[in-house]
Amino acid sequence: MRNALLFSLVLALLLGAAPVRIAHAAILPSDLVRSFDVDTIYYVSPADGKRYSFPSVGVYHTWYANFERVAFVSAEELAAIPFGGVVYVRPGSAMVKVTTDPKTYAVAAGGKLRHVANEEAAASVYGADWNTHIIDIDQAFFANYDIGATVAGADDYVPAYELHMNGEIFQTLDRPAGGAGAAPQSMNGTLPSSIGAGSGFYAETAMLSPSNADRMLLAANDVVFARCETSVCAGVAGPFFNAENIKVESYACDAYRTCRRTALGSVHILPSSSMPNLSVNFDHHIGTKTATLTLAASGGTPSHISITREAGQTTTCANTNVCQTESPPLSLGPYTYTALACDEARRCVFADPITIGPLY
């Protein structure tokens, strides 16, 4: 097949004509492997332990930018891994065509292709340069896909949603049983009409239907800031910049991976914001320092205040306008702290990061 031959040629150029065999390599879940004798690359799924082949270089590059992760194993080691099937094009990464079919398809999870109705629909989903977001797949592999509902416009298919929900290959390998039901609907959340520059806001939304909907996202201007596996999704977005108009949306996906986008509204960013006060005090020790951070809200009646240290360590104080935490003794190097406060209206204020260090 032409694509398979091209894949072999590209691999030969990028990996070299005489690669070194890795004898008795330990093959782990999520590894990319190939044998010394055959060019085909396989993905080892952590879900079932089977190997899945990439049918072309185009499909491979929807998942990986280069071949640096590919390991060479013996033919015996490769044969010991059960064959599971073919890797699909990553959902949301590109549209696909096949030479024997004039239609262009968007790619959804579970090996599903959705016909993009016309050029206007393609442009609404992928932009004015939509025709640069198409890859060809071989007729032999086209049969591995199922055909789903037609994409009539941007509300029917959201590439950012598909990419976010299918970040790993193993998430795309299993087809759900049955066919897609009605697209899920989301209940609009309540948003503030405006917020200050440098601040964020809290939004939540709930599923109205159908009952089997199992995944939701919240996003601001197509950037996901909250992901939920249940019927209620909530999260904090921001910080944002002066004079922006932030479009807030929810994405709902049912058990059959039929997705629908619902606009929650827009929030205008004001030129100023009340920022919390953040002070840092040091206790000096020989060779190390301990930092004590105190955060006081500058206004309103905060329902909680939290301090987040680098590496995700967080201290939260509920129903108080003063929050204090003490770090362990610090080693050499910078330490970045950020703080945020949330008032009763669920408007959140973000403090500028403070860097501690380098120490001496």
Give the per-residue pLDDT at 33: 94
Cα 267 to Cα 107: distance, rounded to the nearest angstrom? 32
Give the per-residue pLDDT at 131: 94
Give the per-residue pLDDT at 326: 79
Per-residue pLDDT tens over the stretch 107-151: 987 788 999 999 999 998 998 999 999 999 988 888 888 888 899
Give the per-residue pLDDT at 52: 93
Helix or strand run (H / E) with residue 155:
none
Give the per-residue pLDDT at 200: 65
Residue type, 205: T
Give the per-residue pLDDT at 118: 96
Pairing of the two strands 245-254 and 259-270: antiparallel
Give the per-residue pLDDT at 311: 60
Q: Could you give the C-alpha distances from 338 to 279, 351, 353, in angstroms and in order?
A: 11, 6, 5
User: Can you tell me which residue has the tokens 């199992």?
Assistant: 214
Per-residue pLDDT tens over the stretch 227-253: 787 778 877 666 666 667 778 888 887
Residue ranges in the chain modelled with pLDDT below 50:
1-25, 272-273, 359-360
Give the per-residue pLDDT at 34: 94
SS3 359: coil
